[in-house]
Structures are given as C-alpha cells and as structure tokens.
A and B are shown apart, each in its own frame.
Chain A
Amino acid sequence: EVQLVESGGGLVQSGGSLRLSCAASGFTFSSYWMHWVRQGPGKGLVWVSVIKSDEGDTSYADSVKGRFTISRDNAKSTMYLQMNSLRAEDTAVYYCARGAYRSGPKGTLDYWGQGILVTVSS
C-alpha cells in the first residue's frame, strides 16, 4: 500500500524557517517524481514544487522560488521541503504527492499524503 506521511510542520514567525519531510513507503520511491502542493485555509490547491526521481531536476512555483528548496534522499525514501524567509501567505496545509509513473515532471498526482499544517505568524 502506498503511504506518504508528512512531518515537520508547526508555528513559525514571519521570516523564519521550517523543514518539512515526506516519508514514503509501499512503492519504489526512487522511480517517481515527487511534488509538494499546498492549500491555504479555506482555499484551493496550489502546486509548489517538484523533484525528479534521481534527486536531480527541480522546479518551483514563482511564489516560492528563491525561498524554498526541494530535495530528496532515495536511500531513506524521504523528500524534503526547506522553507526559508516564510511569510504569512505561506500559511497552509502542505501535501506531498507522487507523480504518476513515467509521466515526467508534469505528472498527474496519483497519491497524496494527509498533509501537514504550517502557520506563519506576522
């Protein structure tokens, strides 16, 4: 069974940093592109970032470019999102999601974690 479990969220002050983790199990993690998607309180879904299966290529939404860094450790089947210079508008539930097999960076998101709340206080 595919499982994605996020951790590392919490309350942080504006300008602060936080690192999210996404622990994967139930599939060959190193074969899949992985994404982060966020959802502000009462709002819709917004794609944040993606990383290639081999820990190589990455891409970011303009709203987080230069502040967030996505990475992964295939030996630990874990993906990360380092979030720096946090702003109030970054407050959201952050989901990790798997890109469908062989769909490349612009993949359908076929499995999602339960999400982790990040609250940035101003």
Chain B
Amino acid sequence: EIVLTQSPATLSLSPGERATLPCRASQSISNYLAWYQQKPGQAPRLLIHDASNRATGIPARFSGSGSGTDFTLTISSLEPEDFAVYYCQQRSIWPLTFGGGTKVEIK
C-alpha cells in the first residue's frame, strides 16, 4: 500500500500569504496524484488532478507540482475561504490511498 505523508499537519498563515503544502509518497506514483479541499461539515472538493491540472472551476491561485514521490500544492495568496483541510490522494497503485491531511488555519 502506498503511504502518503503530509507534513506539517497544521499550517498557520495569514490571508494574502502563500501556502505551500507538501505530500510525499512511499514509492513512485508517477503523476497520479490529486488534491482535495475539505471544509468542516462538507464533502471534499477536487482541486488538482494528475499532479498539476486544475479541476473545473478551481481558481488560478491553486497550483500543483511534482512527480515520482514528491508533490506540492501551492496557494499563491490565501483568501478567507481557503482556510480548510487539504488531502492528497494517489491513484497509481491499489488501493487508492489518501494522505493524513494538512489543515491551513488562520494565524
């Protein structure tokens, strides 16, 4: 099973700051990585698929990069609605697995 490690578990930032969220895979997963955003009491929302492709309707301030084992989600300038939990997910090897999540909180 592929283990996805998201560290730190919490990022404390201010609106307008840049957020950099890493995700590391226990073995190479090519570019088969997605990022999701989840707000309290809501379902996850797809942000990025295949490492760097924004999903439909996702603002340009969200970007993804990486391949192999190291990936990054970047939010160029945090808006108030971006404070949430972010999960990475791999679809390279069964079973599909998710990272433990990074919470982006207001500093």
Partners in one complex: yes
| Cβ proximity bits B19-59 to A, threshold 8 Å, 1 near / 0 not | 00000000000001010100000111110011000010000
How many chain A residues touch the partner (CB < 8 A)? 22
Is A114 touching B43 in the complex (CB atoms < 8 A)? yes
A114 nearest in chain B by CB position: B43
- Determine whether the beta carbon of B42 is less than 8 Å from that of A114: yes
* Stretch of B10-18, B70-78, B90-98 on the interface side: B90-98
Q: Is B66 an interface residue (CB 8 A)?
A: no
Closest CB-CB distance, A99 to chain B, in whole Å? 9
Query: Please, what's the 1-or-0 string for A84-112, where 1 marks a CB less than 8 Å from any CB in chain B?
Result: 00000000000100001001001111111
- What is the bound-complex CA distance between A36 and B36, given in angstroms? 16
Q: Does B62 contact A (CB under 8 A)?
A: no
Contacts of B97 in A (CB 8 A): 47
How far apart are the CA atoms of A114 and B43 in the complex, in Å? 5
B67-107 to A contact mask, C-beta < 8 Å, 1/0: 00000000000000000000101011011111111000000
Are A106 and B32 in contact (CB-based, < 8 A)?
Answer: yes
Q: Judging by beta carbons under 8 Å apart, are B94 and A109 in contact?
A: no
Q: Give A113 to B45 CA distance when docked, in angstroms.
A: 10
Q: Are B32 and A47 in contact (CB under 8 A)?
A: no
| Smallest Cβ-Cβ distance to B96: which chain A residue | A47
- CB proximity of A40 to chain B, nearest CB, Å: 12
Smallest CB-CB separation from A4: which chain B residue? Answer: B43
**Which residues of chain A come closer than 8 Å to B100, judged between CB atoms?**
44
17 contacts between A and B (CB under 8 A): A44-B98, A44-B101, A45-B44, A45-B87, A45-B89, A45-B98, A46-B98, A47-B95, A59-B95, A61-B95, A103-B91, A106-B91, A106-B94, A107-B91, A108-B46, A109-B34, A109-B36
Residues of chain B at the chain A interface (Cβ within 8 Å):
32, 34, 36, 42-46, 49-50, 55, 87, 89, 91-92, 94-101
Residues of A within 8 A of B (CB): 35, 44-47, 50, 59, 61-62, 95, 100, 103, 106-115
